[in-house]
Amino acid sequence: KEEKLPYKVKDISLAKWGRQEIELAEAEMPGLMALREEYKDEQPLKGARIAGCLHMTIQTAVLIETLIELGADVTWSSCNIYSTQDHAAAAMAEAGVPVYAWKGMSEEEFNWAIEQTLFFPDGQPLNMILDDGGDLTNMVLDEYPELVEGINGISEETTTGVLRLVERERKGTLSLPAINVNDSVTKSKFDNKYGCRESAADAIRRATDVMMAGKVAVVGGYGDVGKGTAASLRGAGARVIVTEIDPICALQAAMDGFEVKKMDDAAEEGDIFVTATGNKDIIKDRHFKKMKDKAIVGNIGHFDNEIDVAWLKKNAEEENIKPQVDLFTMKDSGKQIVLLSQGRLMNLGNATGHPSFVMSNSFTNQTLAQIALWNRPEEFEPGVHVLPKSLDEKVARLHLSKIGVELDTLTEDQAEYIGVPITGPYKSDQYRY
């Protein structure tokens, strides 16, 4: 049998740069740093062997080191072939983390990398899953069912991964408890929205340097990610058109001041297209045919099936301009389309994902989910769960002082009047924020 690699990264000599950026990120991630302080004596993750599959970025490095400081052993892979920041991966490898991730891996290498994380250096298998999008979860449940018995649970980061878990639950194939981190308010209403508000325009700029002001941008989907993406492009001065299938989200987009059209019509008008639906087949052959010459097309949803890249590859000549930017020249018309990250999520492929501060909210939820599943497994039946609102409010609270937010406090009289405890939770579980 081949000797297992202790790690596989692009270039270990990038570790020093990675460490410098990790230290800067720590100052922007008060939630994670507060958990390190709170739990350093208690070591609530002692004994946990967490296999993580989540974009191997600088922010994720701060998450990994938080899990380790709380007592866990950790192995890591990235949940997208383009999302790894090689200096972050190098810093983790140098710190002794078995990490298998580099930017620009093939799909075969992607699956290989996830597989490496299932067993720890001492030969023991994982006993916790931390996932983003469900690829690790599906590999374990479908291909390594013998490992399931030893696993306490799953924490899942994103909308698409939660969708896959819920589907498994419905089909009766979800044999483990899973915490849906995405639907903590301090995750989806912050990372998906305010995160994309920073990183969507960033991706277009770093990829193309195109002037966005005055251009027409089309955003497919007006959920949390679509809202952030539309705001991002508007902030850059673009005139934004939204497409939707849900009347509520379409009405929201209209009342936020965006034009809402069918993709079939928007296709002719757009200079820049970003899909944000988590659904498939949003931009297809007939849309490409209607687009302007040199339209820029990217996706910010989890998987690369929002844009029919296979059609482009068949019907256009492909030329690489720079990493994650490709020019497609249509064989029949000679018209050109600029495709970002081969249709994979552009904010992590073309830029560096969301800023640390917003990811601290997401990852504080991740850490709390791991603590809950590892310490109190008896509380979680197989199926999909969310963290209690008290923890959601705690995550928010941990991020206030960094940005100078001061809260008022309810008086006893006021608390009684609106029927909530002075210390929270302040809203019912149905409240939508």
> Which of the residues are catalytic?
55, 78, 83, 132, 157, 182, 187, 191-192, 196, 302, 354, 362, 366
Asked if 249 interacts with ligand NAI (CB under 6 A), we say yes
From the list 138-146, 206-214, 237-245, 334-342, the region that binds ligand NAI by CB under 6 A is 237-245
Half-sphere exposure of 380 (CA within 13 A, CB side): 28
Residue 133, strand partner residues: none
Minimum Å gap between C-beta 197 and ligand NAI is: 11
201 burial type by CB count under 10 A (0-12 exposed, 13-18 middle, 19+ buried): buried
Asked if 277 interacts with ligand NAI (CB under 6 A), we say yes
Using CB under 6 A as the binding criterion, the count of chain residues that bind ligand NAI stands at 31
From the list 72-80, 242-250, 326-334, 366-374, the region that binds ligand NAI by CB under 6 A is 242-250
Asked if 347 interacts with ligand NAI (CB under 6 A), we say yes
Question: Which pair of structure tokens corresponds to residue 181?
Answer: 């981190």
Segment 378 to 397, residues that bind ligand NAI, using CB under 6 A: none
Q: Rounded to 5 degrees, what are φ and ψ at 49?
A: -115, 95
Nearer to ligand NAI by C-beta: 18 or 195? 195
Per-residue mark of binding to ligand NAI, 281-310 (x: CB under 6 A): -x-----------------xxx--------
Total residues found in the chain within this entry: 433
From the list 57-65, 94-102, 155-163, 396-404, the region that binds ligand NAI by CB under 6 A is 155-163
Distance CA(369)–CA(178), nearest Å, equals 9
Is there a binding annotation on residue 131?
no
**3-state SS, residue 93:** helix
Among 244, 271, 304, 326, binds ligand NAI (CB under 6 A): 244
Residues 6+ apart with CB under 8 A from 122: none
> What does DSSP assign to residue 180?
E
> What's the start-to-end Cα distance of the chain, in Å?
54
Nearer to ligand NAI by C-beta: 49 or 197? 197
Residue 282 · residue 220 · CB < 8 Å: yes
Distance CA(330)–CA(318), nearest Å, equals 9
Residues at the interface with ligand NAI (CB under 6 A): 158-160, 188, 191-192, 195-196, 220-226, 243-246, 249, 276-279, 282, 300-302, 345, 347, 354
